[in-house]
Amino acid sequence: MKGMFRLISSAATIYTFACCIRIWLTWAPNLAAGRGGRFLVDLCDPYLNAFRRFRFLRVGALDFSPAVGVGVLLMVSSVADALARLARVSVGIIAAQLVGVCWSIVSTIVGLVIILLLIRLVACLVAPRSSYGLWITLDQSLSPLVERLRLFFRAGRLVWSAMLAVSLLTCVLGYGLARLVAGFLVSLLVRLPF
């Protein structure tokens, strides 16, 4: 049984690595045109495209579907590895692994959003009237989150830079709180007797 779980874990890890290379190749289309690139496209795109169907994984110009796809593979690898390492299998251990990997995916995405909010806030404070193309694209990507928070806090009159600061603070506090909850939940689930 341990051997089967190790095999599943290893296969998921290797496929995760292949998917990560494929994702990186999207930033260098010329490399994807070669024989190795075509092999990775054929191998990974059917799996990665399955996650592109979920519209909620797109926020403006940002597409988080590849990150979620890789996260699912990491979850499979992590659960299989835990089952191979541990002498016992329980619902609690599997659930704890799933919560841990889900938190890892969420924390990565929230961490990226925090970094983008911070970069944009600093740019707004340094050059408030800049119309640089990158800032326009970043504003379009961050706008859905910022506008939802504007509605939530009923902050209709706040300027964009103030809303960026409110959004940044909300994300940082939410991240900290979610980290505590995830850690508590994992420690609770591991102790389940079944």
Query: Within a 10 A sphere around the Cβ of 64, how many other Cβ atoms?
Result: 19
63 versus 49: the higher-pLDDT residue is 49
Lowest mean pLDDT among 5-19, 64-78, 127-141: 127-141
How high does pLDDT run on average in the chain?
Answer: 87
Secondary structure letter of residue 86 according to DSSP: S
Residue 11, pLDDT > 90, answer yes
Higher pLDDT, 17 or 132: 17
Cα–Cα distances (Å) from 92 to 97, 185, 194, in that order, read 9, 10, 6
Predicted local distance difference test score (pLDDT) of residue 87: 62
Specify whether the CB–CB gap between 193 and 99 falls below 8 A.
Answer: no
Instruction: Return the DSSP state at 30.
Output: H
Distance CA 64, CA 138 (A): 15
CB-based contacts of 142, cutoff 8 Å, min separation 6: 60, 113, 116, 117, 120, 164, 167
Those residues whose C-beta lies under 8 Å from the C-beta of residue 12, and which sit 6 or more positions away, are 73, 74, 76, 77, 80
The pLDDT value recorded for residue 18 is: 95
Question: In the block, which residue shows the tokens 């054929």?
Answer: 42
Please answer whether residues 85 and 188 qualify as being in contact, where contact means their C-beta atoms are separated by less than 8 angstroms: no
Taking the CA atoms of residue 99, residue 100, residue 101 and residue 102 in that order, the dihedral angle to the nearest 10 degrees is 40
What's the pLDDT score for residue 180? 96
Better pLDDT: 51 or 34: 51
Asked whether 67 and 108 are in contact (CB, 8 A), the reply is yes
Q: How far is CA 112 from CA 3, 60, 73, 138, in A?
A: 36, 14, 20, 12
Q: What is the structure's pLDDT at 39?
A: 92
* Measured distance CA(31)–CA(148) in Å, rounded: 39
Domain ranges of the chain: 1-88, 90-194
